[in-house]
Structure 1
Amino acid sequence: MEHAAAFRIDAPEGDAGTEPPMAILSGDWTTHWMVGDGADEALAAELAGWRDVWLDLTRVRRMDTAGAFAIVRAAGRDGFSLDRLKARPEQRRLIELVDNAHRVEPIVRPEPKGFHSLTIRIGKGVVDLQAEFLDTMAFFGHLLVAAARMVVNLFVAPGKIRWAPIFGQMERAGLDAIPIVAITTFFIGAVVALLGVNMLRQFGAEVFVVELIGVAVLREFNIVITAVLLAGRSASAFAAELGSMKMQQEVDAMQVMGVDPFEALVLPRFMALLITIPLLTFVATLAGLLGGLMVTWTTLDLGPTFFLQRIVDNVGATHFYIALSKAPVMAGVVASIGCRQGLLTGGDVQSLGRRVTAAVVHAIFAIIMLDAAFALVYMELDL
């Protein structure tokens, strides 16, 4: 093999170690030629008994960083010196570069502990929260633009709208969620009624528990409980579905075929939640009022007619309209967070698990924060 890395030793006569030898290298000292024949190990073993080594690289055809490192390591046990090197200028520069990098001592920084570690984690958390918020808002903006384009196509080109996945997602994310939403809000209304009766009985005002139930269910619990259940049910499903598609490279395949994954995957899920969340809110309202009615009927002997009449006279429909005004925002938050976390999934199962968990946690956090913001706004508007 004419290009294989090779060497020969011109050693002076006498015992090894008395005078420095001359190592004459030839061939290609590159990774390709050194891996097979082990020339670097042979050179290191041959020069192990000599204190100083002279190197002649003028016959070397090609040399990369791996070959330079092998030469420096074999000849530099007591410290490699460029004064004992005979080579072309480009070879000398490469040897010098590798030798300088080899001499650099790694900097071992002590791991932060105690309060220092706590402040670092808090700082990273704040920075990550800010970046996550900005990325989510950008994704939500893209979603709103796509939804507006879909509304325009509804009047201009209805054939471009993907009706099949929208209705499919409406059934899965909306209609299939009616039982769990109804049962949960029924017990929430019952619990509010029980607490209200026990508290107001101390003041002889048990009858006002009807107004308490009406305001709590019509204004807050119907939309909040519905959105939280959708966050745990639909946001996690969206993240898992899109994350699995991302892991199997189905999203990349859609892009290669010219299909926009955002309009094909994200927009149908958003439209499905946007259409079905008012229905779920209405179901939650009826179930919550029914739970409160059952408690007041059994504990206070207030009949359904009296209960509903006080709801109509003293509570009204304004609180229900306020809850419905929050529904589109809640639907957009749940859909955008779930789909975004799914599209951020990496190539392993651990990443999928983290993204599904993050989708649920972020969606619930956003729902509570937005509900508090809505409460402040409506309080300033005296609604």
Structure 2
Amino acid sequence: MAPQGSDIAINGQPPYLTADIESAPGVLVISGDWTIETLKDADLLVTSFLESNKGASYLDLSGLSLLDTSGAWVIIRLMRALAIPLTDETPIRPDHRSLFEAVAETNNTPPEQNRTSSPVINALEKTGEDVVEIYSDIKILAHLMGGVMASLFTSLIHPRRLRLTSIVHHVEQVGVKAIPIVAIMSFLVGAIVAQQGAFQLRKFGAHTLVIDLVGILVLREVGILLTAILVAGRSGSAFTAEIGSMKMREEVDAMRVMGLNIIEVLIAPRVIALIIALPLLGIVADISALAGGSMLLWIYSDITPASYINWLREAVAVNTFMVGIIKAPFMALIIALISCSEGLQVGGSAESLGRRTTAAVVKSIFLMVLVDGVFAIFFAAVGY
């Protein structure tokens, strides 16, 4: 509806918007019902008034009869377009003033300022955000670690509080059901390492040294590291998704209301199960990788399994095997704590769940590689 003269009005239960230029220059009079029922007409009035390019510098809201949040927001939109503030001198009923202030505060989202982006400033800003996030993750992990240790100490005093059923369930899910994929992957990796080693060392007439290469590399580094990465992607992500889904459905809050210890019920069984399962999976991976290397060398270099085993006994020692196994509990602790902490930080959306699940896998793999490097330097320094 287009404006007629100086008045804009709608028939029925009308809101009114009047700009009387002759008798009261610059005064905008708003009256009538401005509610959800008249929202369409009110919005049409405001749009028509703005299109008519009529100016105003003062509001008279004393004639408002009925007003709700919808009508208040339409009037606030008009006020912002005309740059007219709501002051103490504005004629308006006290209850309407309170509603205007509440709606204006709720929708007070200032537009983003256009600023010249500097690559240096952006890089420093991103670095600062990453540092804050790392600090927050460290605090959460320290809290969970302390809670798990307290839970284990309490279980020693009160064994009934140790949730054996949950631990056995997670050992089955994390360990037993992961054996086939771990064995197949390790078998193929061992065969690939053996093939590449034999191909390169054959040039120097030292193809038998590939057994030393396969044995030491698999037992000290590759076997447990690849197993831990696989477990992080398979079981760590499952931990985050399970706890995150419980957080989204408010089951975690319900457990807290019931007086249950979240760390004792959800976190500790998963940590214990992973610490038990990962070393055993590491042993499976080592055996499978060595078997894959043996089969490949039997086909590729005519080294029989008996000769392979005899040479392997001379190439590796017990400490070679123990280096890999010692790393396993630490990697299991990293996977469990990070996965559970990310699950507890899931928000109320599916996007948050996916983002936290991805973050759990990435952070776990990064920290495991870092820890593996630290252990490698340490064992080399002590000659073990």
Which of these residues, 104, 109, 116, is aligned with residue 114 of structure 2? 109
Change (3 A) 1:207 1:123: same
Query: TM-score scaled to structure 2, two decimals?
Result: 0.76
User: Displacement of 1:348 after TM fit?
Assistant: 1.4
Supply the AA of the counterpart residue of 2:168: F
CA distance in 1, matches of 2:155, 2:56: 84
Matches within 5 A, 1:64-83: 70=75
CA distance in 1, matches of 2:76, 2:177: 70
Query: TM-score scaled to structure 1, two decimals?
Result: 0.76
Local SS of the residue matching 1:307: helix
Corresponding residue for 1:218? 219
Q: Contact 2:57/2:82 (CA < 8 Å) preserved in 1?
A: no
Change (3 A) 1:254 1:305: same
Which structure 1 residue ranges, 5 or more long, are not aligned?
1-5
Corresponding residue for 1:3? none
CA distance in 1, matches of 2:324, 2:181: 19
- Structure 1 position 20 matched with structure 2 position 59: no
C-alpha offsets along residues 302-345 of structure 1, whole Å, 9 cap, x if unaligned? 23333222222231111111111111110011111211222211
CA distance in 1, matches of 2:370, 2:90: 72
Q: Contact 2:343/2:356 (CA < 8 Å) preserved in 1?
A: yes
Q: Contact 2:30/2:63 (CA < 8 Å) preserved in 1?
A: yes
Q: Contact 2:237/2:361 (CA < 8 Å) preserved in 1?
A: yes
User: Displacement of 1:352 after TM fit?
Assistant: 1.4
Matches within 5 A, 1:150-189: 150-189=151-190
Corresponding residue for 1:319? 320
Which structure 2 residue ranges, 5 or more long, are not aligned?
1-14
Q: Contact 2:26/2:57 (CA < 8 Å) preserved in 1?
A: yes
Corresponding residue for 1:355? 356
Local SS of the residue matching 1:302: coil
User: Displacement of 1:186 after TM fit?
Assistant: 0.8
CA distance in 1, matches of 2:293, 2:281: 18
Q: Contact 1:269/1:335 (CA < 8 Å) preserved in 2?
A: yes
Change (3 A) 1:111 1:258: farther
Q: Percent identity among equivalent residues?
A: 34
Change (3 A) 1:230 1:20: same
Q: Contact 1:139/1:336 (CA < 8 Å) preserved in 2?
A: no
CA distance in 2, matches of 1:197, 1:155: 52
Matches within 5 A, 1:201-280: 201-280=202-281
Corresponding residue for 1:35? 35
User: Displacement of 1:203 after TM fit?
Assistant: 1.1
User: Displacement of 1:200 after TM fit?
Assistant: 1.0
Supply the AA of the counterpart residue of 2:142: G
Supply the AA of the counterpart residue of 1:370: V
Change (3 A) 1:153 1:120: same
Supply the AA of the counterpart residue of 1:109: N
After superposing the two structures, state which structure 1 stretch, 65-74 or 159-168, moved more: 65-74
After superposing the two structures, state which structure 1 stretch, 206-215 or 311-320, moved more: 311-320
After superposing the two structures, state which structure 1 stretch, 237-246 or 304-313, moved more: 304-313
C-alpha offsets along residues 102-142 of structure 1, whole Å, 9 cap, x if unaligned? xxx96741463xxx35x455434433433343333333323
C-alpha offsets along residues 32-63 of structure 1, whole Å, 9 cap, x if unaligned? x74368699699899x99988987889999x9
After superposing the two structures, state which structure 1 stretch, 128-137 or 260-269, moved more: 128-137
Q: Contact 1:162/1:268 (CA < 8 Å) preserved in 2?
A: yes
Corresponding residue for 1:343? 344
Supply the AA of the counterpart residue of 2:23: E
User: Displacement of 1:377 after TM fit?
Assistant: 1.9
Supply the AA of the counterpart residue of 1:295: L
CA distance in 1, matches of 2:381, 2:37: 82
Q: Contact 1:337/1:362 (CA < 8 Å) preserved in 2?
A: yes
Matches within 5 A, 1:101-140: 108-110=113-115, 112=117, 116-117=118-119, 119=120, 122-140=123-141
CA distance in 2, matches of 1:343, 1:258: 17
Aligned length: 356
- Structure 1 position 334 matched with structure 2 position 335: yes
CA distance in 2, matches of 1:138, 1:323: 29
Q: Contact 1:140/1:332 (CA < 8 Å) preserved in 2?
A: no
Supply the AA of the counterpart residue of 2:357: V
Corresponding residue for 1:143? 144
User: Displacement of 1:280 after TM fit?
Assistant: 0.5
C-alpha offsets along residues 218-250 of structure 1, whole Å, 9 cap, x if unaligned? 100111011000011001111111111111111
CA distance in 2, matches of 1:278, 1:319: 15
Q: Say which one has the larger Rg.
A: 1
Change (3 A) 1:133 1:7: closer
CA distance in 2, matches of 1:129, 1:214: 40
User: Displacement of 1:350 after TM fit?
Assistant: 1.5
Q: Contact 1:17/1:50 (CA < 8 Å) preserved in 2?
A: no
Local SS of the residue matching 1:377: helix
Change (3 A) 1:208 1:362: same
Q: Contact 1:21/1:50 (CA < 8 Å) preserved in 2?
A: no
